[in-house]
């Protein structure tokens, strides 16, 4: 894990202390530390601390400034989140691309990401400080993201960008499919047993065994699982009813 | 914009109505509609409605069920979010890969994503219903994500995945996994039969059945394959040796 970049989260005129606390928690979950509050309507308080839930250190260390200019004064790169379409033609990035660019820029110096007030967003003058507008993909029919939710998504994307290249599905840990010959040995055993119990008609075996083969190949059992399956087959061949109670036999059909 | 897939968000024993409301809002922001509450400690109330902030329709339409089994009964694919490391080796995907796979699987039928209770998460028995574990990248030093934040990230990734369909594994052509309840019916039948033949000790059933559950969930049998497997189980219970020649029994061990 690389160390996290110097990207500060800047809340502009936030209204609800609960949201400020939730933003602090979202930041800390993703490994970001530097919170800036621009002219908050109320300072972080008990409600903020409660919603921060363990990220109180981020709240206590938050920088409080009077305007966006002060918040980004030493930043080499500024991005502004924006829900609404703006008439001004500004470079736009989605959250993923913005996180990637922000991480790259943070190698040169501090980077700031601006989040507007809950109801009113950022003014055009505030957006003027930004190099890019960030748009988070949302349903256009219900586009109003909670402030902490927007911060959560950006911080998450920053963490993903730092961890790049993305891990992707990759192999299942600790799952080592058994070699084909072990699987085939099981399938032959299965065929013998289901023939013996009268389920497989040896005169028309093909389609059924092909289906079972396809099913178990898809499952890719490991050695341990094959051992269990073969144990079941052996128990069918040589039932040991002592532990399991009465064994249903041909008589009680 | 494609239409959104049928992916339901399943909150298991959620404790705080505020979180339930915030989850509903997060879903609606990203265009998801179907919320399921498993044994909620409190039903959605005024606090939930307040935090839903316009997503009250999602709350009102939420399905309330008693357990995870009922929540995923008709699902063809289930993912479980998990913060903690689990000893059992389960396939793991990060949030992005999981969203991509979930969207692909949703073409075959309903998909469910499980989120555990705020403090306790999901039990191992609940995770047993899942095909994959989902892990959201977090700072290991402060890994505890708020419930609504976790839902927000998954729903966001689902929206991103819909907008840019990744190549991804995708479902096998013409392979339509059976609903969970059909698979569970088979697993219960299997448990009965291997108990009856003395393979499963009913006093220590758990690990063995969990391994078999994992194996068959991974295989994702379709209806036809389940029919074959249950046919084998019935033949074990009521052997019909006429077609298959001599049946190896307890006598010829």
Tens digit of each residue's pLDDT (9 = 90 or more) over A44-74: 889 999 999 999 999 999 999 999 999 999 8
Q: Which of B97, B153, B235 sits opposite A194 (nearest CB)?
A: B235
Of how many residues is chain B composed? 253
Q: How far is B57 from chain A (nearest CA, A)?
A: 12
Q: What is the pLDDT at residue A209?
A: 85
At residue B249, does pLDDT exceed 70? no
Tens digit of each residue's pLDDT (9 = 90 or more) over A148-184: 999 999 999 999 999 875 444 444 456 677 877 788 8
Pairs of residues, one from chain A and one from chain B, whose beta carbons lie less than 8 Å apart: 229
Contact: B101, A169; criterion CB under 8 Å: yes
pLDDT > 90: percent of chain A: 53
A120: which 2 tokens? 């009113």
**Distance between CA atoms of B33 and A18, rounded to whole angstroms?**
26
- DSSP secondary-structure letter at B115? E
Tens digit of each residue's pLDDT (9 = 90 or more) over B20-67: 999 999 999 999 999 999 999 888 889 999 999 999 999 999 999 999
What mean pLDDT is reported for chain B?
86
Give this complex's ipTM.
0.74
Residues of B in contact with A175 (CB under 8 A): 89, 91
Residues of B in contact with A153 (CB under 8 A): 152-153, 156
Q: Is the dihedral of CA A2, B151, A28, B161 positive or negative?
A: positive
Question: B96 vs A157, A166, B5, B136, CA distance in Å?
Answer: 10, 9, 15, 8
Q: What is the pLDDT at residue A240?
A: 67
Contact: B144, A201; criterion CB under 8 Å: no
Q: Is B191 on the interface with A (CB under 8 A)?
A: no
What SS3 class is residue A88? coil
Q: What is the pLDDT at residue A193?
A: 94
Predicted confidence band of residue A243 (pLDDT cuts 50, 70, 90): very low
Q: Is B199 on the interface with A (CB under 8 A)?
A: yes
What mean pLDDT is reported for chain A?
85
Provide the CATH topology of domain B180-239: Helicase, Ruva Protein; domain 3 (1.10.8)
- DSSP secondary-structure letter at B175? -
Q: What is the pLDDT at residue A165?
A: 53
Contact: A219, B224; criterion CB under 8 Å: no
pLDDT > 70: percent of chain B: 87
Contact: B146, A25; criterion CB under 8 Å: yes
Q: How far is A53 from chain B (nearest CA, A)?
A: 9
Cβ neighbours of A113 (radius 10 Å): 28
At residue B165, does pLDDT exceed 70? no
Q: Which CATH number fits domain A7-163: 3.40.1500.10, 3.40.1280.10, 3.40.50.300, 3.40.50.150?
A: 3.40.1280.10
Q: What is the architecture of the domain spanning A180-252?
A: Orthogonal Bundle (1.10)
Q: Is A233 on the interface with B (CB under 8 A)?
A: no
Residues of A in contact with B192 (CB under 8 A): none
Q: Is B143 on the interface with A (CB under 8 A)?
A: yes
* Beta strand spans in chain B (E): 7-12, 35-38, 63-65, 77-81, 92-94, 111-115, 132-135
Task: Please identify among residues 32-71 of chain A the ones whose CB lies closer than 8 Å to any CB of chain B.
Answer: 53-55
Question: For chain A, which residues make up each domain, given as ranges?
Answer: 7-163, 180-252
Q: Which whole number is the average pLDDT over A238-245? A: 58
**DSSP codes of every residue in A196-253:** HTTSS-TTS-HHHHHHHHHHHHHH--BHHHHHHHHHHHHHHHS--HHHH-SPP-GGG-
Predicted confidence band of residue A87 (pLDDT cuts 50, 70, 90): low
Check if B7-163 and B180-239 are the same fold: no
Question: For the ranges A7-16, A234-243, B14-23, which has the lowest average pLDDT?
Answer: A234-243
- Mean pLDDT is highest, among A131-140, A196-205, A241-250, B172-181, for A131-140
């Amino acid at each position: 894990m690389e160390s996290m970049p110097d990207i500060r989260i800047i809340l502009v005129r936030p209204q609800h202390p609960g949201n400020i606390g939730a933003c602090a928690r979202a930041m800390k979950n993703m490994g970001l530390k530097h919170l800036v509050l621009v002219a908050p309507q109320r300072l972080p308080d008990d409600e903020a601390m409660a919603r921060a839930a363990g990220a109180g250190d981020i709240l206590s260390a938050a920088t409080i400034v009077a305007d966006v200019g002060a918040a980004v004064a030493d930043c080499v790169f500024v991005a502004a989140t924006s829900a609404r379409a703006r008439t001004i033609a500004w470079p736009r990035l989605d959250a993923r691309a913005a996180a990637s660019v922000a991480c790259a820029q943070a190698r040169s110096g501090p980077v700031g990401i601006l989040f507007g007030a809950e109801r009113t967003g950022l003014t055009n003058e505030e957006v003027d400080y930004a190099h890019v507008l960030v748009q988070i993909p949302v349903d256009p029919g219900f586009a109003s993201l909670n402030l902490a939710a927007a911060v959560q998504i950006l911080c998450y994307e920053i963490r993903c960008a730092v961890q790049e290249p993305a891990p992707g599905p990759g192999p299942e840990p600790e799952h080592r499919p058994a070699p084909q010959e072990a699987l085939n040995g099981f399938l032959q055993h299965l065929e013998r047993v289901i023939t013996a119990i009268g389920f497989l008609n040896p005169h028309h075996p093909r389609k059924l065994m092909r289906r079972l083969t396809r099913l178990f190949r898809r499952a890719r059992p490991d050695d341990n699982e094959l051992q269990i399956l073969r144990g079941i087959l052996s128990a069918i061949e040589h039932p040991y009813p002592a532990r399991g109670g009465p064994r249903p036999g041909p008589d009680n059909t």
